[in-house]
Homo-oligomer: A and B are copies of this chain.
Amino acid sequence: MNMSVPVDQPLVLLSKSNPVFCCYLFWSSLLIIKMLLMSLLTARQRIKTKTFANPEDLRMGRTPEVRFNDANVERMRRAHRNDLENVLPFLLMSLAYVASNPHPLTAKMLIRIGASARLLHTIVYACIPLPQPTRALSFFITFGIVIFEAFYVLICAIKYI
């Protein structure tokens, strides 16, 4: 008797045995590190321009009063908020997409391109402000990928509406 006869076991898509999920793990970790670094970039601008929003932070910066609306701080905050609006949906949507058993190569390319475009977006928004449409372009690459993934999953799961 040979127990190595393959028992028909469904592939668990959200597990380390699925290379597409591993690719997702890699790029989502990178994006999350990038997102967290935005907090540090904002803090650096706050200290440099002495713009503190909370009374209890003033002593640390040796400043007499709270301040808002510094242009450099606000730029970082807009870039960070743009991440919340786009990176988090990208991470959640790509997870759902991987769970829908897409074509492995397509899925891996979409995850890589979508994540790289967001890295580029941060560079041209928060680090070296470049003339448009650089930022708009990097924004719409990830935007388009999330929309594509969403429609793929919608069609896959339409009968469970």
Q: Mark A residues whose CB is within 8 Å of B.
A: 1, 3, 5, 7, 9-10, 12-17, 19, 21-26, 28-30, 32-33, 35-36, 38-39, 53-57, 59-60, 74-75, 78, 80, 84-86, 88-89, 91-93, 96, 99-101, 108, 129-133, 135-136, 143, 146-147, 149-151, 153-154, 156-158, 160-161
Q: How far is the CA of A150 from the CA of B28 in the complex (A)?
A: 9
Count identical subunits in the complex: 3
Describe A's contact surface by its main secondary structure: helix
Are B153 and A93 in touch, CB under 8 angstroms?
Answer: no
Instruction: Knowing that A33-B151, A36-B147 touch, tell me 12 more A-B residue pairs with CB under 8 angstroms.
Output: A1-B1, A16-B100, A22-B156, A28-B92, A28-B93, A29-B93, A29-B149, A29-B153, A30-B150, A32-B92, A32-B93, A54-B78
| Interface-central residue, A23, A24, A129, A132, by most chain B CB under 10 Å | A132
Q: Separation in Å of the A33 CB from the closest CB of chain B? A: 5
Are A15 and B16 in touch, CB under 8 angstroms?
Answer: no
Q: List 22 A-B contacts (CB under 8 A).
A: A7-B7, A10-B15, A16-B101, A22-B156, A22-B160, A23-B160, A26-B154, A28-B93, A29-B149, A32-B92, A35-B89, A36-B86, A36-B147, A39-B86, A53-B78, A56-B132, A56-B135, A60-B132, A84-B84, A84-B88, A88-B92, A91-B92
